[in-house]
Amino acid sequence: MYQEKFDKESIIGDIMSHYRDLQISLVLVILTIISVYYNIEKIRTVLGLLFILFFPGYSLIAALFPRKEDIDGIERLALSFGLSIAVVPLIGLGLNYTQWGIRLNPILISISLFTILCITAAFLRRVRLPEDERFFVELPETEIFSGSRIDKILSALLIISIIAALVTLVYVIVTPKVGEKFTEFYILGLEGKAADYPTEYVLGESEEVIMGVVNHEYEDVEYTFKLKLQDNILYEESFILNHEEKLEKKIEIKPDTTGENMKLQFLLFKNDELYRDLHLWINVESV
């Protein structure tokens, strides 16, 4: 029984000592994900740089060169930065041709998966090697970095990070992420394009354009649309849109005065305050 317990402790100690760099990389990748989703500014900046410029290359080098005699420490460090700079743009290029595109979440997930897969491959390759051939990061032999203490700290950090990552994942899934709040407001020609606007009018006759409003404010909003020619209000309408609700309708433009280069304004008010001002310059002639 004692021998069996001793063997288990030896195996655990071997895993903790010979794979410290892989464990620390995994922990820091998880912490990076957490800091990004919880928007922890300072931690996110520091870990984000390592996440982009170091971890992908280091994990790939660890998988390609599991023996300590393959390359020395300086080469390993230099190649880690170099390969990261090469790998990350390739991941971004690949994402550009997918439906997800180059956005925060796809990039974060893709680089994380790449790094974790490389860490896994590095672990599997090292574990098959004789102990004296495996690459590992040696720490100074001080009380702070004593084997038992650093092993316990790394184990605790790894468990805490995994639990925190799972909690974060559940939170992100069940909680809708609030993005930028704004309202789309646009005027289109009758062909549904931002072109071919009517600018020549005859007094007494009318033309039409398409007015569109889309609510991205994450709340119900009361809007007021006004069509104004010089100082005269030609048309006015109020309406309420829910979040992500869209209103698109034809607006009749019937000038009530003649003139050249007159300013025709399309005004959108949000909660009684002017939000957007679009305009055309029109000519109106008498019959």
User: What pTM was computed for the model?
Assistant: 0.49
The pLDDT value recorded for residue 168 is: 61
The pLDDT value recorded for residue 17 is: 59
Least confidently predicted of 8-22, 94-108, 262-276: 8-22
Q: pLDDT class for 193, splitting at 50, 70, 90?
A: confident
Q: pLDDT class for 48, splitting at 50, 70, 90?
A: confident
**Domain end point (choices 137, 155, 174):** 174
Residue whose token pair is 């289109």: 188
The pLDDT value recorded for residue 144 is: 41
- Domain with 260, as residue range(s), is 182-285
Over the stretch 235-278, which tens digit does the pLDDT of each residue have?
A: 999 999 998 899 999 999 999 899 999 999 999 999 889 999 99
Asked if pLDDT for residue 84 goes beyond 70, the answer is yes
Q: Is 246 exposed, middle or buried (0-12, 13-18, 19+ CB in 10 A)?
A: exposed
CATH number of the CATH domain containing 280: 2.60.40.10
**Domain end point (choices 174, 198, 230):** 174
Asked if pLDDT for residue 131 goes beyond 50, the answer is yes
**Domain end point (choices 158, 174, 190):** 174
Residues 79 and 148 in one domain: yes
* Number of domains making up the chain: 2
Residues 128 and 186 in one domain: no
For 15, half-sphere exposure in the C-beta direction (CA atoms, 13 angstrom radius) is: 12
Hey, what amino acid is at 116? Answer: I
Residues 9 and 93 in one domain: yes
**Measured distance CA(230)–CA(180) in Å, rounded:** 34
Asked if pLDDT for residue 215 goes beyond 90, the answer is yes
Q: Between these two residues, 44 and 242, which has the higher pLDDT value?
A: 242
Residue 96's CB is within 10 A of a number of other CB atoms, namely: 11
Residues 148 and 15 in one domain: yes
Residues 130 and 193 in one domain: no
